[in-house]
Amino acid sequence: MCGIVGYVGPRDCTDVLISALTKLEYRGYDSAGIAVFENGKIEVAKSKGRLTDLVKKMEKEGKPNGHAGIGHTRWATHGEPSDINSHPHSGRRVTIVHNGIIENYKELKQFLIDNERTEFLSDTDTEVVAQLLDFYYEGNPIRCIRRVLHELRGSFALGIVFADRPETVYAVRCESPLIVGQGKGEAFIASDVPAILKYTKDYYLLEYGEIAVLKNGSVTFCDFHGRMVEKVLKTADWDEDSAEKGGYPHYMIKEIHEQPTAVKTTITPRIENGMPNLSECGITPETLRDINNIFIVACGTAMHAGMVGKYVIEKLARTSVTVDIASEFRYRDPLIGENDLVIIISQSGETADSKAVLNLVRETKAKSLAVVNVKGSSIARDADMVIYTHAGPEIAVASTKAYMVQLAVMYLLAFEIAYAKGKIDEKECRELIAGLQNIPEVIDKTIDAVVDECQYISTKLITADSLLYIGRGLDYALSMEGSLKLKEISYIHSESYAAGELKHGTISLVEDGMPVIAVATQNTLLEKTVSNIKEVKARGAMTIVICDEYTEIDEDAADYLIRVPKISEVLMPMVATVPMQLLAYYTAVNKGNDVDKPRNLAKSVTVE
Ligand code: AGP
């Protein structure tokens, strides 16, 4: 949820920390702070609000000046966003930044109070950790960190500086992600790789319980028991440009435009001679043939990709698929059988609830398959099999290209399972694959075809207090994502409904002028969907219909029509997604909202 960074090297530390934090602001943005060694003393600057507020504050009050330090951008969990609750937090001799959550902080705080440590300034769990480190500190930082690790429960990554160890940064990881960058004569810590790409592409992935020591521009590692660890240096295949806006006003619109490339990069290595081939991901037709039931478990947008997956896999492979929200699945004692497959979809690969599902699967004889975008992330490493989506870094909080490639993977899987189980023949499989290969080009065409219309229609949406998204079948699965996209960045209340379910209660909400966006790309269900559109229209709704270029929609059903290119019905979600993304984007822009950093949200949800 929060982003942490650290630096040791010859550059101006404050500049490096701020630059790195800018790349992590998507993780949390309600306050920010840094701690830098200046002439051997730790100087702290922090502020409620965006990173720019911290920068302004330092311009006014002076910035810490030095070559080693730590920084933080916050998504509040314990304690409201305020100057006091902003990180870094300090004990007498220790200052820390923290990403994650300390579940037993109350007990630990009581322990400290009982031991006459009463000087707590903030409401945060982090300050308790800083005080605890201070309590146990006897001049050996590693021993002190290891001692405190035994006491902490929860998921966390910490950046730590000790007042009597100038020019040195310590870092430790337990669950929450942390990487250690290695440049020439300089070293970094960061919650995510894009933060350091400006300086280096070489990094180490810190594992659970490992401690890193950054000193004199280089890094050493030890484990939970204090034993030295040799780690393998990795090289990021994302470059700095892919984590920049590249001339677009927002990351979100840039990422919408990157979708054709993302889909192509994701599917190409998994297609061989016109047939799906997932063997590089450890998946063979034999693995898939015997699958009994499939569970798809994820959160938010990723879960919505799973909904599309369910419709497609069930339709083509005739295999039962249950889609669950991870935070529900993990606590509902699901019945997972020996030959079942649990698919976890996650862009970040760090979502706490989705990650927890893997522990559950491990207790069964079922297999787990992760569909993940971030390489080396926890979910990718913990699953039995992984299909990486190759979307590149997704920075906007509102997911677009990651969703699109998750869809692409759902299709590849559906085709492969259906073929492995003999539910489709080779000819049909080849046709489906050819259709998928055509998608990047069609997405490009769709963006061009609908962008003006979406921009215009969004001006009609900005005054709405509430709206509905409706659809049937795959259109319903898709409308869930359309609705989430719109509400999370435009702040307009929105619900998605199975069109046929409206009359069972929800239609009572429809009143004069209420926007209802109907997705009607499934020709087999068209007549029924159109009847539902007419029902809301008759009650005063302003109807916006997304359909293909040839579908005839009665004039009296649609106030606005958004026409997308026609492709095979089963693949239509990959095309119809585009106008939904653009409607959300332009509505948020027209409302003057911060599109890439919507209020109260964070890109990576690493707490329950
Ligand atoms: C969607 O725009 C959101 N950012 C959110 O719903 C997101 O998809 C969800 O938190 C899951 O994240 P993950 O894919 O990284 O697991």
| pLDDT, tens only, 129-187 | 999 999 999 999 999 999 999 999 988 999 999 999 999 999 999 988 899 999 999 99
What pLDDT score does 298 carry? Answer: 98
Q: Is the CB–ligand 1 distance for residue 354 below 6 Å?
A: yes
E strands, 191-227, are 202-205, 211-215, 218-222
Find the 601 Cα to ligand 1 centroid distance in Å. Answer: 10
Using pLDDT thresholds of 50, 70 and 90, give the confidence band for residue 389.
Answer: very high
Q: Is the CB–ligand 1 distance for residue 299 below 6 Å?
A: yes
Residue 186 makes CB contacts below 8 A (sequence gap 6+) with: 7, 8, 9, 10, 11, 199, 200, 217
Mean pLDDT of 397-419: 98
What pLDDT score does 430 carry? Answer: 98
Helix (H, G, I), strand (E, B) or coil at 463: coil
Residue tagged active-site, from 48, 310, 487, 603: 603
Percent of the chain with pLDDT over 90: 86
Per the DSSP assignment, residues forming a β-bridge with 548 are 564
Q: Is the CB–ligand 1 distance for residue 581 below 6 Å?
A: no
Helix (H, G, I), strand (E, B) or coil at 514: coil
What pLDDT score does 605 carry? Answer: 81
Mean pLDDT of 211-230: 95
Tell me, yes or no, if 2 is annotated catalytic: yes
Find the 181 Cα to ligand 1 centroid distance in Å. Answer: 26
Q: How far apart are CA 576 and CA 594, in angstroms?
A: 25
- Report which of 11, 3, 1 is spatially closest to residue 36, judged by C-alpha positions: 11
Residue tagged active-site, from 2, 174, 299, 547: 2
Judge contact between 460 and 565, C-beta under 8 A: no
Neighbours of 185 (CB within 10 A): 12
Please determine, for residue 567, whether its predicted confidence score (pLDDT) is greater than 80: yes
- Report which of 94, 95, 98, 90 is spatially closest to residue 31, judged by C-alpha positions: 98
- Report which of 37, 473, 431 is spatially closest to residue 215, judged by C-alpha positions: 37
Q: How far apart are CA 16 and CA 188, in angstroms?
A: 9
Percent of the chain with pLDDT over 70: 100
Does an H or E element contain 309, and which? helix 300-317
Q: Is the CB–ligand 1 distance for residue 300 below 6 Å?
A: yes
Please determine, for residue 240, whether its predicted confidence score (pLDDT) is greater than 90: no
Q: Which atom of ligand 1 is nearest to the CA of 604?
A: 15
pLDDT digits over 153-163, tens only? 988 999 999 99
What pLDDT score does 78 carry? Answer: 81
What pLDDT score does 81 carry? Answer: 83
| CA-closest residue to ligand 1 atom 9 | 300
Neighbours of 423 (CB within 10 A): 16
Neighbours of 275 (CB within 10 A): 14
- Least reliable range by pLDDT among 176-185, 236-245, 457-466, 545-554: 236-245
What pLDDT score does 415 carry? Answer: 98
Please determine, for residue 349, whether its predicted confidence score (pLDDT) is greater than 80: yes
Q: How far apart are CA 404 and CA 406, in angstroms?
A: 5
What pLDDT score does 528 carry? Answer: 94
pLDDT digits over 479-492, tens only? 999 999 999 999 99
Q: Which atom of ligand 1 is nearest to the CA of 403?
A: 8
DSSP letter (8 states) at residue 184: T
Question: How high does pLDDT run on average in the chain?
Answer: 94
Find the 385 Cα to ligand 1 centroid distance in Å. Answer: 21
- Least reliable range by pLDDT among 71-75, 305-309, 445-449: 71-75
pLDDT digits over 241-286, tens only? 677 787 899 999 999 999 999 999 999 999 999 999 999 898 999 8
What pLDDT score does 70 carry? Answer: 98
Using pLDDT thresholds of 50, 70 and 90, give the confidence band for residue 351.
Answer: very high
Helix (H, G, I), strand (E, B) or coil at 31: strand
Please determine, for residue 215, whether its predicted confidence score (pLDDT) is greater than 80: yes
What pLDDT score does 334 carry? Answer: 93
Between residues 24 and 221, the one the model is more confident about: 221
Please determine, for residue 1, whether its predicted confidence score (pLDDT) is greater than 80: no
What pLDDT score does 64 carry? Answer: 96
Q: Which atom of ligand 1 is nearest to the CA of 374?
A: 15
Q: Is the CB–ligand 1 distance for residue 488 below 6 Å?
A: yes
Find the 481 Cα to ligand 1 centroid distance in Å. Answer: 11
Q: How far apart are CA 174 and CA 161, in angstroms?
A: 18
Ligand 1 test: best mutation among 252, 605, 607, most atoms within 8 Å of CB? Answer: 605
Q: Is the CB–ligand 1 distance for residue 348 below 6 Å?
A: yes
- Six-digit token string for 32: 């920010």
Find the 211 Cα to ligand 1 centroid distance in Å. Answer: 29
Please determine, for residue 606, whether its predicted confidence score (pLDDT) is greater than 80: no
Judge contact between 581 and 400, C-beta under 8 A: yes
Find the 98 Cα to ligand 1 centroid distance in Å. Answer: 21
What pLDDT score does 477 carry? Answer: 97
Q: Is the CB–ligand 1 distance for residue 347 below 6 Å?
A: yes
Mean pLDDT of 228-235: 94
